[in-house]
Structures are given as C-alpha cells and as structure tokens.
Chains A and B, each alone.
Chain A
Amino acid sequence: MSGQLRSHSLPLAALLALAAAPFLGFGDGFALSLLARAMILGMAAVSLSLLIGGAGLVSLGHAAMMGVGAYTVVAFDAAGVSEGVIVFPAAIAAAALFAFVTGAVSLRTSGVHFIMITLAFGQMAFFTASSFSSLGGDDGYTLYARTEWLGTRILDSRLTFHFLCLALLALVWLGCSLLLASRFGRVLRAAKENPQRAQAVGFQPYPYRLVAYTLAGAVSGLAGALLANASEFVSPALLSWTRSGELMFMVILGGVGPLSGAILGALTIVLLEEWLSHLLVYWRLVFGPLLVLSVLFLHGGLIGVIPRTRAALRLLPWTRRNANA
C-alpha cells in the first residue's frame, strides 16, 4: 500500500494543490478558468490513457468525442434546454454512441490503420460540426447560459465549478484505475501485451476493446460538456485533429503506464501553453520543438522522473555510503 502511495505521490500532490489553489492566490477568474480547463482536459486525457496505456489503442481522434459532448450541450442550448439533469447524461450518451459506432469499424483494424482511421473519423466530426450553420458553423456558438442543475444556476459560481471539476477528475481517475485492475481490465491489458495469449485462453479481444473505447468516449463526452460550460463557447476548433494530438501529447508527456500521468501531462501542457503564449507571439516555435525533444528523449514521461532521479541518486558515491551506513 505504501508503495502504491509513493507511486501516486506526484498526482496526489497535484490534486491537493488544485484543491488548495483557490485559497493560495489563484482564486481570480482568470486563474480559475485556466485550472478548470486543465482539469477538464485532464479527464479526457485520462480516458485516452486508458485506451493507449491500458488497451494499446492509439487513437488520434479523441477530441471528436469531447466535441460530440460539447455540441450536445450546444444543440440543447439552441433548443432552449439547459437543465443539467437532461443535458449532461445526453452529452455522455451521445459521445459514447459516437465512440461505439466509430469504434465498431475502427477496431476491425489495428496498428497504423487504427491511428489513421480514428484520425479520419475525428476529421469527419470536425467537418460535420463546421457545416451546421444553425449551430454557428465555423464561427462557433456562444452559449446562452451555463447549464443549470434542477433549475439552480449552481455552475455559475467559478469556485463551485472548480471543485466540481476537481471532484469529477478524481472520480474519473479512480474509476479508470479500478477498471484497469478489474477482470475486464486484465483482459484488456492481456490483449494489449499478447493478443494471441488472450485468445488461447478463450478471450476474443474485440468486444472488450469496443467496450473500453465506448467508456473512454463517455468520459470524454462528460469532459466536452464541462468544457462547453467552462468557456460558454464551442467552436469546431474543439474537435480539430491538433486537439487530438495535444491530448495524446498530454498522455505521453505524463507517462503512459499509470493513468495519473495523464493528469500531470494535462496540467503541464495547459499551463505551459498559457505561459508560452503570453511570452511569445509565435509560441509554437518553442512548443513544437519541445514536443519533439520530449518524445525523443523523455522515455517514460514525467511520472517516471521521480523514480529515475531516485535511482540515479542512489548511484552517486556519497549517497551510496549513506545508504550503507
């Protein structure tokens, strides 16, 4: 147990810091909306990490699922419905359905095919969103109001929204971690590492992968609905494939193995982007090379930095003497 605690120490610290942030001088509207964004993208990144790290499914169309969630909120808003009890389940269900249908086709392939097809489906969603002129088309759609809960405008408080996102992020992390440790997760992981072995004992990977893909879609749908509320604005850019690439970067930067890496990755990237874009006009000239360098050199991601550093320290002569003493 203590070992588990240690391996999760970094993400737990991050969650605690997020809980404390509003009271440590980050309580203004700007900081809170930035953190909310980071947490929401963190949820989507955790669900993508479940696919990549847990099931070995490298999806490059994950932003589309978020987009379906967000556009469900938009569609209800345009129809004059903003009751969360209706809107949120609908957004989650719509994204799950989208994931189920596209997954049913994509999962018939594997490897590079899968990457290309998920990307293609993501792009399909993007163009579809741009072509609905009644929902703003290319220009996007500004929400009339944030989603209500049983008629109360509870989400309008930035602080409440902050803690709601934090709680949901923790819940998503916990849920996905449990999922990977369950019977279902074991089949998924076995099929990733050695599909032949999984089949030899009697498991056909396809249905397990499809369920995982659908669940990840549902989580991303939730993230999308929250994101629509956070910015009160939705545009097709939310579904663009660069957004999918960014989510993937979050997962890899944080570290593929443990799901908590995705949370670290999301926080790091959202804050880094924000900082760089304040510093420079053409900030991607720095961000892009950073991405390339981190892929080439940072094996195991941020989450692996602590154990690696500790291992490196152990090799130094003076620490070794201390350890012996």
Chain B
Amino acid sequence: MAQVVRLAAVDKTYAVRTRAGRVRRRRREVRAVSDVSFTIESGEMVGYVGPNGAGKSTTIKMITGILTPSAGRIEVLGLTPTVDRRRLTRRIGVVFGQRSQLWWDLPLIDSFELLHHVYRTERARHDANLAAFTERLDLGGFLDVPVRQLSLGQRMRGELTAALLHDPALVVLDEPTIGLDVVSKYAVREFLSETNRERGTTVLLTTHDLDDVEHLCRRMLIIDRGRVLLDGAVDRFKAEHGNDRTLVVDLESAAEPLPLRTGQVLRTDGPRQWIRFDRRRTSAAAVIAEVTAAGAVRDLAIEEPDIEELIRRIYASRTEGSPGDGVGL
C-alpha cells in the first residue's frame, strides 16, 4: 500500500522572546516537536493523541503545509507540504474543530457552492458528493440556515462536508469532536468511519478524547512534550493500559481509607475516596458491594482513565521495565 504521510526525524522549534530587564529581551528556543517519525499508509485511520500543548497541532500544521519543519523531512501524498502547498490543498481536507471554514453569515449551502468554485471540482461530482453527505449527515434540515445560527453539532457536520466535498485522499482533523454532545459525537464518528471504509479516505485525527480513538482508529500515536511516546494498535494498548477503573465514593462522613479486597484506595479527601480496581479481575458490582458493606455511601461514580493518566502510566512502565524495551508494544 502507498504511503500517504511520512515524517522522518521531524523537529519544530519556535523562538520565544521573553522580557529580561526593561528593554532587553531574551530569545529562547522552545521545541514543540522533537524527532517525530511515523508513516501512515493509504486507507489507515490513525488517532494522534496527547494532552494540550503536546505538539499535536504543530504536527498537523506541518503535515498540511502551514508550518515548515525546523529539521527532518515530511512527505504527504508524494509532495513536500510547504513547497507544494497549493497543489496539496486539492488533495487533502482539513477540519479544525475550533475554527470554522464556513461563511458565517450565509446559508450553509452557499459555503459548499463557494468551495466548489475554489477547488474547481466538477459540477456532477460536487452535486453527487453533496447529495451523499447531505443524506449521511442529515444536513437537509439546515442547508438554508446561516452558519452562525447553527448549533455546534450542526456546524461540525457542515465542516466535515466542506472538508470532504473535493474528494481528498487524506483528511486531517484537529479535535473534531471538541465540545460536541454525545449524539453529534456519534454522528461525526460514524460518518468518518463510513467515509474511510467506502471511499478509502485516509484519516488522521488529533484528539484528547480517548473515546474517539477507541471508536474510530485501529492505530494510535501518543505524543507528549513533542515526542512520540507510543505508536501501536489501539486494542493492544487498551488491553495493557486501559483496564483500570476508579470508583469515586462519597461516604456519609470522613473516614480512614477503607480496607478493601477488591480494590485499593488511591487517595481520600474528607468523605470522598478514590478506589482503583482492575476490571479484568473484579467487577464494578463487586467493588461497590464491598464498599457499601464497609460504610454508608451517599454517592458514587466510576471513572475511566483519561489521557493524562495513561501517559503517566506509560512513563511509569518505562522506568520500571527494561530499558530499550520501549512501551512494550
């Protein structure tokens, strides 16, 4: 299969100027991305995951030709993004979750019509794509509504359509589900996997929502502080790192950490206690039963590990495990 994206030892450093004294300014280099290498094959769907400020957006901007890497090589669909930027734009679609590419004051359909001219897509192909996306994403009810009056979920469905109307071979999405409600998130995910399956579109998406990755991607890259921490199959990663759950209980009154057999109290804060358990060894019901037996419970909730927590564990397993073993994938 053809390589769609290839990064080889890519660095990106920014010069940040800070004040040092009254007039003098000190120039400091900040490394946003450091020695990042990976390839994405045609038809893959890859999640690019990391906490805020990890370097996700910087990588995306380099792949799409907005930023030039400070070192290393990038190739996208056989082109060098910053050099062949205009040519590349015809073959990729980009969605920035927090920035719209739609015409704010005009009906949604007008944006699509304008993009048809900007990308110079064939009329018939444009119409067929628009009809297909309208049906898939259920846009029919608000095609004539000005974008500024759309809900976030409706607007995001519009953004997806806008990014895909010109049949890009690669679609890059930066936080496409941020701020969306559950129903819209589901619609976005469903649409992306259908597009990937039926059109063979390669998908790269950044997110800090692990749910997105679980539902969409077979492969994930975890990035933290500019470095790729892990590159591997989502299933295996989940099997190794994603089995811990935390039960948060509010007791009637402050108490010593509960002595439990099924789980372990991580920390306490007044009447609230955080209890970790492994869902492969025990069930949530068993833990809850043991906790209620030990003391009166007012309220409880079960938390899945978030991305920051998982990254902490990867670091931990790295220092514990044999050196050179990577993260065991």
**Chains A and B form a bound pair:** no
Binding site for B on A (CB under 8 A): none
Binding site for A on B (CB under 8 A): none
